[in-house]
Amino acid sequence: MIQSPDVSFLRRMIRDALVATVGCTDPSAIALSAAHAGSAVFDAYAPREDAQTMLDLIARIDVRIDPKLFKNAQYARIPNTQGLYGVDLAILLGLLIGSTDFGLQLFQLVSPNLLACAGRQENRALVHIRMAEPEIGLYCETRITLQDGKSGAACIRGHHNTIAWVEEDGKRTVHNHACSGFPNQLPVREDYPADTERLSMGTLEELAMQVMALSDVDLPEIHAAFAMNRKVWMDGEVGSGATYGLSRFPDSNNLVTIPLISRQAVALATYRRMAGEPVEVMACGGSGNHGLTFFLTVMHGWVL
């Protein structure tokens, strides 16, 4: 049983589960590791127009990634790239974007110039990928070595937006914090595993009741999630829905069709995201599609 969890515990559980992302969370996490590695090796780090000049300074980029993350990311279309994909492309875009302030939303900063530079085969050949041990869990380590021997590295581990450490010229600094678009992001605590062990299937109803008892001010992520994920669906209704053959059912005001509307809403929103549209989604449990499914289904009254 959960022993009277306090507000900070519940907020941490919610914040661990809900993360804003643009595009699939897997290539976004990989790009985020590259952005942090780049920040350790380059000065004045920000999106720039001299992208090729910066890449010319690099001897190689080594990426060590767990097989599951690689599989999920390799063919996920990256936003603002006209449908392109690839772990090597995600690495180069993260490096060239440079900003680590946007968390998993960094692909919204992809520009035509950065895309053209990252897409060149000679630049993509800089990236060397090898698999980490499967049992290591979610993991992506990016190491950048310059022509002059200077190096920098960063590691995402455990959660898509959790920076485990950053290394500059062999000196490693442990971070273990989450990168998020939310202000005042709570740090990832060392006792997080113990917290999760307190939860079991027998306590989920109690946990839900505790969350429902919180005031609105304690749940900004949930409010943002409903608004954000609903927008992905509704914008698709008047935008790309017809292109995908997923436009609104004509009798959508008929209560009998609510289950169909729920399915249509989830299908359209997830398709837009996986097709590489630069839509902002609140992911749940590391999956943007899970977040869309959950919040759009709840919005329609749990009818599926």
pLDDT by residue for the chain (304 residues), tens digit each?
Answer: 445 556 677 677 777 778 888 989 999 999 999 999 998 888 654 445 588 988 999 999 999 999 999 999 999 999 999 999 999 999 999 999 987 888 899 999 999 999 999 999 999 999 999 999 887 889 999 999 999 999 999 999 988 988 999 998 888 888 765 665 444 343 333 443 444 444 444 455 666 666 667 666 667 777 788 888 888 888 887 665 555 555 554 444 554 455 667 788 888 888 888 888 888 898 887 888 888 888 888 776 654 4
Q: What is the pLDDT of residue 185?
A: 41
Same domain, 119 and 28: yes
**Residue-level pLDDT at 16:** 73
3-state secondary structure of 143: strand
Contact (Cβ atoms closer than 8 angstroms) between residue 142 and residue 31: no
Mean pLDDT of the chain: 79
pLDDT score recorded for residue 2: 45
Q: Are residues 91 and 170 in the same domain?
A: yes
Show the DSSP H helices in the chain as ranges: 7-17, 25-41, 51-56, 67-74, 87-97, 112-118, 121-124, 192-197, 204-212, 220-238, 258-274, 288-299
Question: Is 2 among the domain residues?
Answer: no
| 135 and 218, same domain (yes or no) | no
One domain, residues 98 and 115? yes
79 and 204 inside one domain: no
CATH number, residue 106: 3.30.1330.120
Compute the CA torsion angle 177, 178, 180, 183 (nearest 10 deg): -40
User: What's the domain count of the chain?
Assistant: 2
Q: Same structural domain for residues 155 and 212?
A: no
Q: Which domain holds residue 171?
A: 19-178
pLDDT of residue 247: 53
> In this structure, is residue 190 part of a structural domain?
no
Write down how long the chain is. Answer: 304
Same domain, 269 and 158: no
Residue 292 is assigned to a structural domain of this protein: yes
Q: Where among 133, 148, 178 does a domain terminate?
A: 178
Residues 25 and 103 in one domain: yes
State which of 146, 178, 210 marks the end of a domain.
Answer: 178
Cβ–Cβ contacts within 10 Å for residue 185, how many?
Answer: 15
Q: How far is residue 68 from each of residues 65, 87, 127, measured CA to CA in Å?
A: 8, 12, 19
- CA distances in angstroms from 214 to 82, 185, 202, 219, 227, listed in the order given: 42, 19, 21, 7, 19
Q: Which residue type does 270 have?
A: T
pLDDT of residue 100: 82
Cross-strand bridge partners of residue 140: 65, 156
**In the chain, what is the greatest distance between 2 CA atoms, to the nearest angstrom?**
67
Q: What pLDDT score does 38 carry?
A: 92
Give domain status of residue 187, yes or no: no
Q: Which two structure tokens, joined as six digits, stand for 188?
A: 């990832």
Is 222 part of any domain? yes
Is 195 part of a structural domain of the chain?
no
209 in any annotated domain: yes
For residue 304, being part of any structural domain is answered with no
Taking Cα atoms as reference points, which of 136, 172, 182, 133 lies closest to residue 157? 136
**212 and 270 within one domain:** yes
Same domain, 13 and 30: no
Find where tokens 């000049």 sit: 53
Same domain, yes or no, for 12 and 23? no
The pLDDT of residue 55 is: 93
In this structure, are 11 and 40 located in the same domain? no
Instruction: Give the global pTM.
Output: 0.78
